[in-house]
Chains A and B, each alone.
Chain A
Amino acid sequence: NAGVTQTPKFQVLKTGQSMTLQCAQDMNHNSMYWYRQDPGMGLRLIYYSASEGTTDKGEVPNGYNVSRLNKREFSLRLESAAPSQTSVYFCASSSTGLYGYTFGSGTRLTVV
């Protein structure tokens, strides 16, 4: 009963490096989301995917790209990391919306 699984849990990058955050869910949910969590800012939506094959920008998409690989997996890519992207990243999934989201355990990313 894994729910939403995120990898890695921790990562340190140098400015300019690239990386991909992985997210997978086993609940057969249609929708998946990437949020970033920063102190005093709450959770802000980066990108989301309402269904397999579709992706849309959220509130803070600049500097990120996403791929909805299949119904289970939704990855977030930082092409050229910047210190402003230091944050905790949460992936989430949802079915109909009436039950809200199920969240992953987060990825703590530091860009130096």
Chain B
Amino acid sequence: AQRVTQPEKLLSVFKGAPVELKCNYSYSGSPELFWYVQYSRQRLQLLLRHISRESIKGFTADLNKGETSFHLKKPFAQEEDSAMYYCALGRGGSNYKLTFGKGTLLTVNP
């Protein structure tokens, strides 16, 4: 079975401080990992895909297969980063679906 764990429900940092949102997964196959962001009462938006190794809005995430982690990082947090962040794990094949973690609510204080 596949599982995604986001150990922090809440994370509060000050503007300009580094931020790291943790995500650990369990999956026996080759994982496809994503970070989604949800701003207050809006739809979920794709932030990052591990396969693309890109940086979006200053955020990066590296897949560590040894530690089964996909932590989201940003060196200098901004107030507009305040949102709910979800890590998601995909399983390939014909019945493709994502398993989501329970989310981390990030608050960036001025």
**Chain A residues with a Cβ under 8 A of chain B:** 31, 33, 35, 40-45, 48, 50, 56, 58, 90, 92, 94, 96-106
Query: Which residues does chain B contribute within 8 Å of A97, judged by CB atoms?
Result: 32, 90, 92, 96
Contact of B95 among A50, A100, A104 (CB under 8 A): A50
A31 and B44 in contact (CB under 8 A), knowing A42-B102, A43-B86, A100-B49? no
The 9 closest A-B pairs by CB, nearest first: A42-B102, A97-B96, A43-B100, A103-B44, A105-B43, A103-B43, A100-B34, A42-B100, A100-B46
Interchain residue pairs with CB less than 8 A apart (6): A42-B101, A45-B97, A58-B97, A98-B32, A101-B44, A103-B45
A106 and B43 in contact (CB under 8 A), knowing A40-B102, A41-B102, A100-B88? yes
Report how far A106 CA is from B41 CA in the complex, Å: 9
Nearest chain A residue, comparing its CB with the CB of B49: A100
Report how far A45 CA is from B89 CA in the complex, Å: 13
Question: What 0/1 readout, one digit per residue, does chain B (69-110) give for beta carbons within 8 Å of chain A?
Answer: 000000000000000001010101011111111110000000
Question: What 0/1 readout, one digit per residue, does chain B (45-58) give for beta carbons within 8 Å of chain A?
Answer: 11001010000000
Report how far A101 CA is from B97 CA in the complex, Å: 9
Report how far A51 CA is from B100 CA in the complex, Å: 21
Report how far A57 CA is from B100 CA in the complex, Å: 16
Report how far A103 CA is from B39 CA in the complex, Å: 13
Are B96 and A31 in contact, CB atoms less than 8 angstroms apart?
A: yes
Flag whether B65 is at the interface (Cβ < 8 A): no
Nearest chain B residue, comparing its CB with the CB of A94: B96
Known A58-B97, A100-B34, A100-B88; further 6 A-B contacts with Cβ < 8 A: A97-B90, A99-B46, A100-B49, A101-B46, A101-B98, A104-B43
Nearest chain B residue, comparing its CB with the CB of A58: B97
Question: What 0/1 readout, one digit per residue, does chain B (16-56) give for beta carbons within 8 Å of chain A?
Answer: 00000000000000001010100000111110010100000
